[in-house]
Chain A
């Protein structure tokens, strides 16, 4: 029996076995039925293996109800939804902050349930400043003006007529990890790291359109502005825009969801999510940044001596173990595959190291391809848990040579107080002798 077969049920059962909160009751009874008809023979072999090590006797298989009945019909048209047994995999608002309104609010991606690097569109994290508009693409327009030779207007039909480009990239909110620097506030990795998603984004390089309007001499900054009720806007340096910024209308193979900017958003690879302005209606060219409220009062980093770091755009190299992670339950000593994501706004992931002893010893994890620029990279590490207390964490290295720091190393230079942003510190999970996995940031 190979260890791979033993690992399979561990991995496959994770959504239920490791689930947190409300799903547990609902999913627990159904797990057996579901797995038995989904995995068939492979499951039976694995079950036999488990049985032989535990001394339990496997009961004989019965023909499944699904084999003895007709399934649902194919509907004439419709949009496919996840299995009804996956109802626990949801985007969740913060359970640390209690926002008094839910227009300027956020929700997090359940990255502990994400298989592979692509986040399903319905689970891409949200951050809005004045709710989610429903914009008719037939009336939406983009304007480019300011320091240009010829201001231009573009309808969605205009924009989608250009040849398009698709790129895989992560997107992360500057506030990802906001609540858990020095004390434990969140239980799950969804709450600690779920302002993070990844998809294939499709659109047009903004440089193509800037070429069309013609930039005047001295142009250095662009304003990107949304058509939502907050008219959220950010100043973006022209150099970055010409490098790799896209205006995107699609993610994950379909048009953007309303909550992610339908029908058009900026996409600024590797930079804090709010710079990728959603519902994009206007680009203005200037020689100066605008210093808007979103660039002074917000999205700035508290620093020593009362200062704030401004225009801190890049999301630096970071990683986290997603399986196992907070709120999960280990299924007894033995072999586990530690899994997680690493990413960097400054390039590709070069390596991920794993500790299982609280940071004294580190071992190199396997990276799973594709390893792409400014994109989530999956890592895996096989670990034999001896059943004793353990503290596990990951540490990523990117193509610039930057090594993911500890929180202590970050705190040496930054003021960890208030609305701290850009938390890319090493994040530990503690496992106790009962197999309970907990947030161990402090």
Chain B
């Protein structure tokens, strides 16, 4: 792998081998960053590897807790029972529930709520609250029972509908082979 092709720059520091895009501008043998630790940046470290659930935090929440929270914080945009409201459409039912191409992995919803919801106060919910809201929305879609409690393990183990889970293809473009016809096209 090109990444590990180590060269000696200026006889002083180790450097990667860089691409032609920046030819003529070699990496200077300097470092202006400040070393840090994962502990120091924990508050920013909110991403979930949604296919595996890696990164899901401790905590838990129930469908009932989620319903109560939804009615306080979410109904004004998403409507009662997430059936659609003044701002956004239904999050329940449909061929690919929860919009667009859908959610092939259950932790996607947790990741999204935690980073972006509620829209007027993002990153204000506790992990327990995010688990609870995720549980409520998934229960409305009958992916989990009404008495379910979600935590890292149980959320990652939810199997989304197979046509959604297997509903993606890798980028196979170019998918056209147009020709440059000039006359009588």
Please report A residues at the B interface, Cβ cutoff 8 Å: 100-101, 103-104, 129-130, 143-145, 150-155, 158-159, 161-163, 165, 205, 207-213, 215, 217, 219, 223, 225, 229-231, 233, 238, 242-244, 269, 281-282, 284, 286, 288, 290-293, 296-298, 300, 302-303, 306-314, 316, 351, 353, 355, 359-363, 395, 397, 402-406, 409-410, 412-414, 418-419, 422
B25–chain A nearest beta-carbon distance, Å: 5
The answer on a CB contact under 8 Å between B32 and A159 is yes
Q: Which residues of A contact B103 (CB under 8 A)?
A: 293, 296-297
Given contacts A130-B116, A282-B45, A297-B108, 14 further A-B contacts (CB under 8 A): A104-B119, A144-B33, A152-B36, A153-B36, A153-B41, A205-B18, A297-B101, A298-B101, A307-B169, A308-B100, A309-B170, A362-B180, A404-B178, A410-B175
Q: Which residues of A contact B33 (CB under 8 A)?
A: 144, 152-154, 158, 209, 212-213
In order of increasing CB-CB distance, the 6 nearest A-B pairs are: A244-B21, A152-B33, A231-B115, A308-B101, A405-B176, A300-B101
B65 within 8 A of A: no
Q: Which residues of B contact A100 (CB under 8 A)?
A: 86-87
Q: Which residues of B contact A161 (CB under 8 A)?
A: 32
B35 within 8 A of A: yes
Interface centre among A231, A302, A362, A409 (most CB of B within 10 A): A231
A40 and B67 CA atoms in complex are apart in Å by: 71
Q: Which residues of A contact B36 (CB under 8 A)?
A: 143, 145, 151-153
The answer on a CB contact under 8 Å between A208 and B27 is yes
A163 and B169 CA atoms in complex are apart in Å by: 40
Closest to A243 in B: B19
B8 within 8 A of A: no
A228–chain B nearest beta-carbon distance, Å: 9
A402 and B180 CA atoms in complex are apart in Å by: 10
The answer on a CB contact under 8 Å between B184 and A360 is yes
A111 and B100 CA atoms in complex are apart in Å by: 29
A284–chain B nearest beta-carbon distance, Å: 6
B48 within 8 A of A: yes
B11–chain A nearest beta-carbon distance, Å: 17
A286 and B155 CA atoms in complex are apart in Å by: 21
Q: Which residues of B contact A210 (CB under 8 A)?
A: 16
Q: Which residues of A contact B123 (CB under 8 A)?
A: 231
The answer on a CB contact under 8 Å between B27 and A359 is no
The answer on a CB contact under 8 Å between B3 and A362 is no
- Which one, A242, A397, A402, contacts B19 given CB within 8 A? A242
Asked if A293 meets B112 with Cβ closer than 8 Å, knowing A303-B169, A311-B170, A362-B181, the reply is yes
The answer on a CB contact under 8 Å between B101 and A101 is no
The answer on a CB contact under 8 Å between B52 and A288 is yes
Interface centre among B52, B102, B174 (most CB of A within 10 A): B174
B161–chain A nearest beta-carbon distance, Å: 11
A87 and B18 CA atoms in complex are apart in Å by: 45
The answer on a CB contact under 8 Å between A309 and B178 is no
Q: Which residues of B contact A359 (CB under 8 A)?
A: 185
B143–chain A nearest beta-carbon distance, Å: 15
